[in-house]
Structure 1
Amino acid sequence: MKRIGEYKKLFNIEKDIDLKELKSTYRNLVKEWHPDKFQKGDEKAVEAELMSRQIIDGYHFLVSIAPETKAANLDEYNETINSAIIDWQHKGMVLELTFLDGNTYEFFGVNKALFTKFYQSGTLTRFAKRNIFNTYTYRKIKKSEVEA
């Protein structure tokens, strides 16, 4: 959740993510912080390099969790969450789930207590359907290697 907040702050987003506004803000930030604008060896050039990477990462991250992106990929998401969970990993407040079809999703805001209940449940997919899939912000981080 901290990461979402940082990127929203960087792009000056208050509530929901609008892809058109995000794209124009992204372009303006890239113009402002492009490393080629600064002299090599200048301390501002190093800062611009780091900032441009953060802007690019933030843009791709926010696009992946935008409501429009989720709506466009809803059928694929529903198909994936109906397959078995084969691997999981919890880092901080992020739960990473890998499914039998090869897709991997991140779910943001999943606390340690819920994660403990998740991995101790007898049926992971059933527990996740009831408590995680439709409750937490998610994004796809890895596509299946074999497309059907």
Structure 2
Amino acid sequence: MKRINQYKKLFSVEDAIDLKTLKKSYRNLVKEWHPDKFQDGDVGQEVAEKKSVEIIDGYHFLVSIAPETKVANLKEYTETISNSSILDFQHKGQLLEITFLDGTTYEYFGVSKAVFIKFLNSDKQMRFARRSIFNSYLYRKSKKDLQEA
């Protein structure tokens, strides 16, 4: 959740993510922080490069959790959670990363430690996840999975 709020703040996004507004903000930030604008010193150029990487990562992250993106990928997501079983999972902080047998990986944001412990101790983890995690938390297809495709 911290990462979501950080990126929303960077792009001045208040509530719901609108792709058109996000793209406009992204372009303006890239123009403002492009490393080629900072030719005078190495320090300024290094800061600009780091900021550019943060802007690009933030843009791709926010696009992946935007409602329009979720609607576009809903069929694939529904098929994965309906027809594939859980292969592996990791929980760190409020992030639960689940890898399915079909090779896709999804990240679920805001999953508390208490919910994760219930998931972990469940006799039927897939059933618990379908009922309590898959459609209850903000999710996105993992970047790792997107790079492999």
Q: Hey, what does 2:124 align to over in structure 1? A: 123
Q: Hey, what does 2:109 align to over in structure 1? A: 108
Distance 1:133 1:143 in 2: 19
Tell me the SS of whatever aligns to 1:36. Answer: helix
Q: Hey, what does 1:135 align to over in structure 2? A: 136
TM-score, normalization: structure 1? 0.94
Distance 1:95 1:75 in 2: 21
**Amino acid of the structure 2 residue aligned with 1:33:** W
Q: Hey, what does 1:91 align to over in structure 2? A: 92
Contact 1:103 1:144 in 2 (8 A): no
TM-score, normalization: structure 2? 0.94
Gaps of 5+ in 1: none
How much does 1:126 deviate? Answer: 0.6
Contact 1:118 1:127 in 2 (8 A): yes
**Amino acid of the structure 2 residue aligned with 1:6:** Q
Contact 1:64 1:70 in 2 (8 A): yes
Contact 1:107 1:138 in 2 (8 A): yes
Runs of 4+ in structure 1 off by over 6 angstroms are none
**Amino acid of the structure 1 residue aligned with 2:7:** Y
1:16-55 aligned within 5 A:
16-39=16-39, 41-55=41-55
Tell me the SS of whatever aligns to 2:97. Answer: strand
How much does 1:119 deviate? Answer: 1.1
Tell me the SS of whatever aligns to 1:70. Answer: helix
**Amino acid of the structure 2 residue aligned with 1:45:** Q
Q: Deviations over 1:85-125 (max 9, x none)?
A: 01000011100000011100000000111111101101111
Identity of aligned residues (%): 66
Distance 1:73 1:125 in 2: 21
| Matched length | 146
- Higher fraction of helix: 2
Distance 2:57 2:133 in 1: 25
Distance 1:88 1:107 in 2: 11
How much does 1:143 deviate? Answer: 4.8
Distance 2:81 2:148 in 1: 17
Distance 2:64 2:57 in 1: 11
Distance 1:143 1:9 in 2: 25
Tell me the SS of whatever aligns to 2:96. Answer: strand
Tell me the SS of whatever aligns to 1:106. Answer: strand
